Amino acid sequence: MSDRGTHTYASLHVGPAGGPRDEVVAIEEPMEVRVNGSPFAVIMRTPGADRDLAAGFLLAEDVVHGVHEIGLIEHCQDADQEGRDNVINVTVTGAAVDRLESRLAGRRQVMMTASCGLCGRRTIESLRSRVSSVAGDWTVPASVIASLPSTLRRAQRVFETTGGLHAAGLFDLDGTLLLAAEDVGRHNAVDKITGRMLLERKLPLSRAMLQVSGRTSFELVQKALLAGIPLIASVSAPSSLAIDLATDSGITLCGFVRGATFNVYAHPERVG
């Protein structure tokens, strides 16, 4: 039995109450992203919010700079029946057409795993040429930041049944959850959020905060920067490059947000 996000498998439980039992497991499937009909990337993801994921991914890949450069996003009807739900084409227009040609000329066609993100292809210096910093002249109580993981956890419907997905949540400055996304990849969950906001013409998100599960990598801070999000928090540690990018771009970076405590690695002035 399965839906688009989970599948039930038979398993053997080992322990005092051991024996056969069914387990609900998060689905991981490849999604081929085509841009203007040309293959661009294959992303290992959890099915669902595919249009948002594709839009957020192309924003992070510097193919599109705004929703005005996006036409149709649709599943490809020329794919075979089995793969039809896993092949999506994005039509881009304007200056994005030239950027697409540049990206296609400069990249190898590779399989992107769910844990990959941009895999270090883009440096901090190249980011500065496009988005130098975020705006966000505000402060938020420490207690609000401390509350974000538990609020996000309650919204993780598929994680509740599988225990096998990452999550990202977009919050307002009062700690109200605006949007949540789950995926086998942390980067994909963030792309689903930024892609939705891009398609709804709500970027930049200068009065919003991003909470993610797992650790904070350079790529996640990069995605926050491109979406104009001034604060990103996680339940685990940041990497050194994530701290460097957050420091240079004006992003408040919080880590080890657990219980009532957390660390602030960059721009603590937003934490009241």
CATH of 29-119, one of 3.10.20.10, 3.40.50.11540, 3.90.1150.10, 3.40.190.10: 3.10.20.10
Q: Which CATH architecture has domain 142-270?
A: 3-Layer(aba) Sandwich (3.40)
Alpha-carbon span 114 to 31, nearest angstrom: 11
Contact 250, 127 (CB under 8 A): no
Gap between the terminal Cα atoms of the chain: 48
Q: Which of 172, 168, 166, 198 is nearest to 57 (CA)?
A: 198
Same fold, 29-119 and 142-270: no
Asked if residue 259 has pLDDT above 60, the reply is yes
Q: Please state the length of the chain.
A: 272
> For residues 215 and 236, what is the distance between their CA atoms, to the nearest angstrom?
5
Residue 114 or residue 233, greater confidence: 233
Which tokens belong to 193? 């959020």
> What DSSP string describes the chain?
-B-SSEEEEEEEE-STT-EEEEEEEE--EEEEEEETTEEEEEEEE-SS-HHHHHHHHHHHTTS-SSGGGEEEEEE-TTS-TTTGGGEEEEEE-THHHHHHHHHHHH----EEPTTTTTTT-S-HHHHHTT---------B-HHHHHHHHHHHHHT-HHHHHHS--EEEEEE-TT--EEEEEEESSHHHHHHHHHHHHHHTT----TT-EEEESS-B-HHHHHHHHHHT--EEEESSPBPHHHHHHHHHHT-EEEEEEETTEEEEEE-GGGB-
| Segment among 106-120, 168-182, 214-228, 255-269 with least mean pLDDT | 106-120
pLDDT, tens digit, for every residue of 184-230?
Answer: 888 999 999 999 999 999 999 999 999 999 889 998 999 999 999 99
Q: What's the token pair of residue 29?
A: 């499937």
Average pLDDT over the chain reads 86
| Residue-level pLDDT at 184 | 87
106: its two tokens? 């400069």
Query: Is the predicted pLDDT of residue 3 greater than 80, yes or no?
Result: no
pLDDT digits (tens, 9 = 90+) for 100-140: 998 887 665 444 444 444 443 345 566 665 777 999 999 99
The catalytic position among 76, 116, 119, 254 is: 116
76 counts as catalytic: no
Q: Contact, 143 vs 245, CB < 8 A?
A: no
Residue 77: what pLDDT?
75
* Rounded Cα distance, 93 and 79, in Å: 23
Instruction: State if pTM tops 0.85.
Output: yes
Residues 6+ apart with CB under 8 A from 126: none
Among residues of the chain, what percentage have pLDDT more than 70?
84
Q: Please list, in sequence order, all residues whose beta carbon lies within 8 angstroms of the beta carbon of residue 170, skipping any fewer than 6 positions away.
A: 177, 178, 179, 180, 193, 197, 205, 208, 209, 210, 229
234/164: higher pLDDT? 234
99: which 2 tokens?
Answer: 């950027």
For residue 10, what are the contacts with CB-CB under 8 A and spacing of at least 6? 20, 21, 22, 23
For the chain, the domains span: 29-119, 142-270
